[in-house]
Chains A and B, each alone.
Chain A
Amino acid sequence: KQEVTQIPAALSVPEGENLVLNCSFTDSAIYNLQWFRQDPGKGLTSLLLIQSSQREQTSGRLNASLDKSSGRSTLYIAASQPGDSATYLCAVINTGGFKTIFGAGTRLFVKA
């Protein structure tokens, strides 16, 4: 049974710091892995999607990596800004079928 863990659960950093958010999963038979951002009271906004054949994806200050063999994905945020404050969730999309496991999220607070 696939389990997804995000560590840390919460993180507070000063503005300008580079940071890494972690997502671990137990079953390497994944199809894709997707990172989302969620602002309080809002829906999920897709940040990056990594296909299982890829090692990483980049968008602006964000870089997501995937290591299936170790069951890990990381989301790297460069030069963090107060506007990056939000909850970040990873979703592991399993191969075949409709089963997706969402992590509980990391709540990020970037201090000005």
Chain B
Amino acid sequence: IAGITQAPTSQILAAGRRMTLRCTQDMRHNAMYWYRQDLGLGLRLIHYSNTAGTTGKGEVPDGYSVSRANTDDFPLTLASAVPSQTSVYFCASSENSNTEAFFGQGTRLTVV
């Protein structure tokens, strides 16, 4: 693994189903983030973690949850998917909250 890896790359999900998007980084970055990107809108922060063991809510947290059990992993869970959660999801990490973020390749999620 080099950098930041997301899985799956894409997914079609039935509404009401539970889904976890995985994110792993090997840069030993303290801070990690989950964004969604929708056409015509800027990246919107869903949840973040400034360090292992802590998480915080971003701009659009409803319907999503995260955990940060260790430095490397930051999974995003949709408890009961709805069509409005159709989006491209990007995981990112940074050395700390002051430095630039590095992004994973994204997960394209379609909820039908």
Query: Do A and B interact with each other, yes or no?
Result: no
Residues of A within 8 A of B (CB): none
Residues of B within 8 A of A (CB): none
